[in-house]
Amino acid sequence: MYKIAVLPGDGIGAEVTAQAVRVLEAVGRRFNREFTFTEGLVGGAAYDAAGTPLPKDTLELCLASDAILFGAAGGPKWDSLPAHLRPEAGGILSLRKELGLFANLRPVMVFSSLENASTLKPEVVAGVDLLIVRELTGGLYFGKKFREKLPDGGVRAVDTLEYTANEIDRIVRVAFDLARKRKGKVTSVDKANVLESSRLWREVASAVGRDYPDVGLDHMYVDNCAMQLVKNPGQFDVLVTENMFGDILSDQASVLSGSLGMLASASLGGRTALYEPAHGSAPDIAGRQLANPIASILSAAMLLRFSLDMGKEAGCIEKAITDVLNLGYRTADLMEQGKTAVNTVEMADLIIERMLG
């Protein structure tokens, strides 16, 4: 019996998470596995119900579970709240910090039937299969930040970017361990020509690399990496980088797969790992069953593989998604001429049908 905490959150988070849960239930039926799903409040939904974006009950539920399936947090309704009560900073960022989830894994795979869905040329994106490993609990997003008034009446805002050698070492090791199970190549991304924290990053990455003689290591400046990701993404296997660079590069890399709605993620490092689509709550399409549930369903597959050691079950989900896309079914974000349009629930229905069929 595996205990899964389900935190749907806001906007399309709730719509896509419901479909990922249905897919996990189908895995249960097909492979005779038993899961229990317990819902918790998070984000704006939690603020509305309990006055805080991360209620204590939710944190306790997460700590008592084998894995967490998260939707998305945030939306215009809560944008004017103070930072600590906002769904993003007070909800998902706090949850990652509380759970010690320092490693964010974002795989970017281009399904062959979606090679034309990207804004990039099909020959550039064909065959891309890379993994971005982003440091998640340090760097600029968690450093000291403040504003102060200046004597001339102006104002100054300060954010600080700090990393310890230990924080760098542990995330780079995650990247090397994963590269060993893939194509055996790590690209460490930094801005060592300008930033002191990046110079430390590069030193530590090189030192860790000496413990993995079977894995190749390259260093790349983040600006060059941004360019290479759209010029020749096929060169990459595992990219490892600090929090903000990883945030930006992974959204950029989502273009390769055709839609943010195709990008899953896992956050590891603490006692309970968290799995979520890379996208947000998409207020522009929320409540209309227009969202692509595949990112959330692929996140559920990662949950099975990384937290429950169910590689075969995860593979069954991924194969079903490949088949459904090959058959020409598309949600609105990926729709093109000659394909069959389906909504959020219908896409999940088709995937479940292939899994059980």
* 172 vs 260, beta carbon nearer ligand NAD: 260
How many Å apart are CA 128 and CA 256, to the nearest integer? Answer: 8
The yes or no reply on residue 19 touching ligand NAD (CB under 6 A) is no
The yes or no reply on residue 247 touching ligand NAD (CB under 6 A) is no
Active site residue 97: no
Residue at shortest CB range from ligand NAD: 280
Q: Look up residue 191 and give its amino acid.
A: K
Q: Which long-range contacts (CB under 8 A, 24 or more apart) does 343-348 make?
A: 343/289, 343/290, 344/12, 344/15, 344/16, 344/19, 344/289, 344/290, 344/291, 344/292, 344/293, 345/19, 345/289, 347/19, 347/292, 347/293, 347/294, 348/19, 348/22, 348/23, 348/293, 348/297
* 198 vs 292, beta carbon nearer ligand NAD: 292
The yes or no reply on residue 99 touching ligand NAD (CB under 6 A) is no
Residue 162, both tokens? 């700090």
Active site residue 247: yes
Residue of the chain from 119, 214, 284, 337 that contacts ligand NAD (CB under 6 A): 284
Active site residue 152: no
Residue 165, both tokens? 């050698």
The yes or no reply on residue 75 touching ligand NAD (CB under 6 A) is yes
Residue of the chain from 132, 189, 200, 295 that contacts ligand NAD (CB under 6 A): 295
Give the contact letters, 123-162, x = binds to ligand NAD (CB under 6 A), - = no.
Answer: ----------------------------------------
Cα torsion 171, 176, 182, 184: sign = positive
- Give the list of residues 6+ apart from residue 165 with CB closer than 8 angstroms, or none: 200, 204
Give the contact letters, 314-333, x = binds to ligand NAD (CB under 6 A), - = no.
Answer: -------------------x
Q: Look up residue 344 and give its amino acid.
A: T
Q: CA nearest 221: which of 211, 213, 229?
A: 229
Check residue 343 and report its DSSP letter: -
Q: Choose, from 57, 159, 223, 309, the residue flagged as catalytic.
A: 223
Active site residue 237: no
The yes or no reply on residue 92 touching ligand NAD (CB under 6 A) is yes
Q: Choose, from 10, 47, 190, 191, the residue flagged as catalytic.
A: 191
Smallest separation (angstroms) from ligand NAD to the CB of 209: 31
Contact 139, 164 (CB under 8 A): no
How many Å apart are CA 45 and CA 52, to the nearest integer? Answer: 9
The yes or no reply on residue 167 touching ligand NAD (CB under 6 A) is no
* 142 vs 221, beta carbon nearer ligand NAD: 142
- Total number of residues that touch ligand NAD (CB under 6 A): 23
The yes or no reply on residue 279 touching ligand NAD (CB under 6 A) is yes
Active site residue 251: yes
How many Å apart are CA 279 and CA 277, to the nearest integer? Answer: 5
Which chain residues interact with ligand NAD by CB under 6 A? Answer: 12, 16, 72-75, 88, 92, 259-261, 276, 279-285, 291-292, 295, 333
Active site residues: 141, 191, 223, 247, 251
